[in-house]
Amino acid sequence: MREISPTENWLLITLGMALSGVLYGMVVFPDEPKIIGVVFSVAMGVPMIAFERRILLRGLYRRIEKLPTVAFIISALVIYEILMSVGYAAAASLLSWLGYLTPRTSIDQLVMPFNVFLYALAVCALIVFILRVRDLLGRDVFTSMLISRYRAPVAEERVFLFIDLADSTSYAERHGDLRAQQFLKALFAAFAEPVRRYKGAIDDYVGDAAIVTWPLKRGVKHARCVRCVFDIIDDIEANAEAWQKKFGQVPRLRAAIHGGPIITAEIGIDRHKITYFGDTVNTTSRLEALCKSLNRQVLISAELAQRIKVPEAFALEDLGTHAVKGRGQTLGVMSLAGRKLAPVIAPFELRMPAE
């Protein structure tokens, strides 16, 4: 299936908002021109979506998403109401200028009526709740569970990235378990933006490692799985002074990328989870363990490397075939060197936990 471009995605969002405005106008104001509902809906809804997608006021969103759930919901509600109020005023002013509305006073043109305010508040509360649940579960997992995509097991191909913090045990011995957990929290937070940027999903955190996954076609397209791990590494290197000052150590990472056929299924009764079964997942884990013995930071299976058009910004080194524990056949292994050219996307802001 062809991927929807960002432009097409926003056109669909705007169209959806417009249609919801038409529907609202037909129910509440059946005798009024339908363009009124369209303009109000688009002007009030699109800024909220832009904020949620971290396009509008990105720094503010990053600050509030670190808050506890109750504080996040309250903060998000306030921000959404402000955005909707500004959108309402802009829409009312435009419609008044076009002659579709004749407000009695300037206050009527700029301030939402109380019934509209209550409706907007209810819509905002529902949106914030849904978005928070989605963030807690993960975007792909939330969507898959919502449509029951994996209620019955599905055979598919996926790419997996295992990325692990080296020397985490010695750090915990020197600084204590609590400090080590704060260190890991900051590190995993630094993974989030590159994973989101390259359309991946963080499947799980296992000790000091994170597991990132993509549907195979999406992960190999534009070498997203490769660019993702090096964006993470490059950002940590760029912010080495901040890491050293805050935690007394700059994170050193080891990573492995592999892909292939797996079985994806939704499991559990009281607690549901989407999980992956098959040799591909285990092989990726074993490949990551080879990083230490081969003295390489990033490894990729030769099978997957052949399916990716690796940009010239990265250097591949063939390390031959290696026996992998739990796998009957040997695995072709290649190392990926650091970036040699300027990044195609600007590095993201370091997300450190609040004190």
Give the tens place of pLDDT for each residue, 151-186: 888 899 999 999 999 888 888 889 899 999 999 999
Q: 307 in a domain, yes or no? A: yes
Q: How many domains does the chain have?
A: 2
* Confidence band, pLDDT 50/70/90 cuts, at residue 347: very low
Residue with tokens 């190999």: 220
CA distances from 93 to 44, 79, 101, 102, 119 (A): 13, 21, 9, 10, 20
Q: Which pLDDT tens digit goes with each residue over 92-130?
A: 888 888 888 776 666 766 777 777 777 777 776 777 777
Q: Which of 20-34, 64-78, 336-350 has the lowest mean pLDDT?
A: 336-350
Residue 222 DSSP symbol: G
Is the confidence at residue 244, as pLDDT, over 50?
Answer: yes
Instruction: Look at 343 and 261; give whichever has higher pLDDT.
Output: 261
CATH code for the domain of 276 = 3.30.70.1230
Q: Which pLDDT tens digit goes with each residue over 265-319?
A: 888 777 777 888 988 998 999 999 899 889 999 999 999 999 999 888 888 999 9
Instruction: Please state whether beta strands 253-267 and 273-277 pair in parallel, antiparallel, or not at all (unpaired).
Output: antiparallel
Q: Which of 126-135, 221-230, 334-343 has the lowest mean pLDDT?
A: 334-343
Burial class of residue 5 (count of CB atoms within 10 Å of its CB; 0-12, 13-18, 19+): exposed
Q: Helix, strand, coil: what percent of the chain each, to 5?
A: 55, 15, 25
Q: Domain limits at 247? A: 156-336
Q: Do 15 and 88 lie in a common domain?
A: yes
Buried b (16+ CB within 10 A) or exposed e, 72-93: bbebbeebbbebbbebbbbbbb
Q: Do 128 and 176 lie in a common domain?
A: no
Q: 166 in a domain, yes or no? A: yes
Q: 350 in a domain, yes or no? A: no
Of the candidates 253, 254, 259, 261, the residue with the CA atom closest to the CA atom of residue 301: 259
Q: Do 189 and 315 lie in a common domain?
A: yes
Residue with tokens 């992956």: 276
Dist. CA 166–CA 168, nearest whole Å? 6
Q: Do 186 and 282 lie in a common domain?
A: yes
Q: 343 in a domain, yes or no? A: no
Dist. CA 59–CA 82, nearest whole Å? 17
Q: 150 in a domain, yes or no? A: no
* Confidence band, pLDDT 50/70/90 cuts, at residue 349: very low
Q: Do 272 and 131 lie in a common domain?
A: no
Is the confidence at residue 150, as pLDDT, over 90?
Answer: no
Dist. CA 21–CA 177, nearest whole Å? 53
Of the candidates 313, 215, 327, 207, the residue with the CA atom closest to the CA atom of residue 264: 215
Q: Which pLDDT tens digit goes with each residue over 20-29?
A: 778 777 776 6
Instruction: Look at 187 and 340; give whichever has higher pLDDT.
Output: 187
Q: Do 77 and 190 lie in a common domain?
A: no
Q: Do 256 and 171 lie in a common domain?
A: yes
Instruction: Look at 233 and 111; give whichever has higher pLDDT.
Output: 233
Q: 66 in a domain, yes or no? A: yes
* Confidence band, pLDDT 50/70/90 cuts, at residue 324: confident
CA distances from 297 to 77, 101, 168, 288 (A): 43, 63, 15, 9
Q: Which of 82-86, 262-266, 335-339 has the lowest mean pLDDT?
A: 335-339
pLDDT given at position 215: 92
Interval 133-162 mean pLDDT: 82
Q: Is 165 helix (H, G, I), strand (E, B) or coil?
A: strand
Q: Do 40 and 119 lie in a common domain?
A: yes
Is the confidence at residue 73, as pLDDT, over 60?
Answer: yes
Q: What tokens appear for 125 in the block?
A: 């509360």
Instruction: Look at 109 and 39; give whichever has higher pLDDT.
Output: 39
Q: 91 in a domain, yes or no? A: yes
Q: Model pTM greater than 0.75?
A: no
Residue 156 exposure: Cα atoms within 13 Å on the Cβ side: 18
Is the confidence at residue 224, as pLDDT, over 90?
Answer: yes
Dist. CA 122–CA 172, nearest whole Å? 46
Of the candidates 228, 209, 210, the residue with the CA atom closest to the CA atom of residue 218: 228
Is the confidence at residue 47, as pLDDT, over 90?
Answer: no
Q: Do 313 and 229 lie in a common domain?
A: yes
Q: 348 in a domain, yes or no? A: no
Cross-strand pairs, 160: 213, 258
Interval 32-43 mean pLDDT: 83
Q: Do 72 and 162 lie in a common domain?
A: no
